[in-house]
């Protein structure tokens, strides 16, 4: 299996928010087929359960706001700086978050 990497953070063994080592690997853009795209482009984040899917403000509980929106915007900015145009981004991930 190909090693997972992230363009959002250097070390996927620690939480993006807190630095805790109790983490799950989060795919920043959800949906059918997009997990693989997230892995291809490095759009992954390591998150503590509280910020992943346990807390009321976690990325899965509160999508497209707060931390989740910040991650999506950071990933899209990286895409547009390194991979392709906004139109190409939308073709892959369905919408623009910027
Ligand atoms: Zn997740």
Q: pLDDT, tens digit, for every residue of 40-69?
A: 999 999 999 999 999 999 999 999 999 999
CA of 58 to the centre of ligand 1 (A): 9
* Res 21: pLDDT: 98
Q: Cα(57)–Cα(85) distance, rounded to whole angstroms?
A: 31
- Averaged pLDDT for residues 7-34: 96
CA of 47 to the centre of ligand 1 (A): 8
pLDDT above 70 as % of the chain: 98
CA of 43 to the centre of ligand 1 (A): 11
pTM over 0.85? The answer is yes
Q: Where are the domains of the chain?
A: 24-93
- Write the burial class of residue 66 (CB in 10 Å: 0-12 exposed, 13-18 middle, 19+ buried): middle
Residue 15's nearest CA partner among 48, 55, 49, 53 is 48
Residue ranges with CB less than 5 Å from ion ligand 1? 26
CA of 81 to the centre of ligand 1 (A): 24
CA of 57 to the centre of ligand 1 (A): 13
């Amino acid at each position: 299996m190909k090693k997972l990497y992230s363009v959002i953070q250097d070390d996927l063994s620690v939480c993006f928010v807190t630095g805790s080592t109790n983490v799950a690997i989060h795919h920043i853009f959800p949906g059918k087929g997009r997990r693989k795209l997230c892995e291809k482009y490095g759009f992954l984040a390591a998150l503590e359960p509280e910020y992943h899917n346990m807390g009321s403000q976690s990325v899965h509980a509160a999508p497209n706001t707060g931390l989740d929106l910040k991650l999506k915007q950071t990933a899209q900015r990286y895409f547009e700086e390194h991979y392709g145009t906004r139109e190409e981004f939308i073709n892959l991930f369905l919408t623009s978050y910027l």
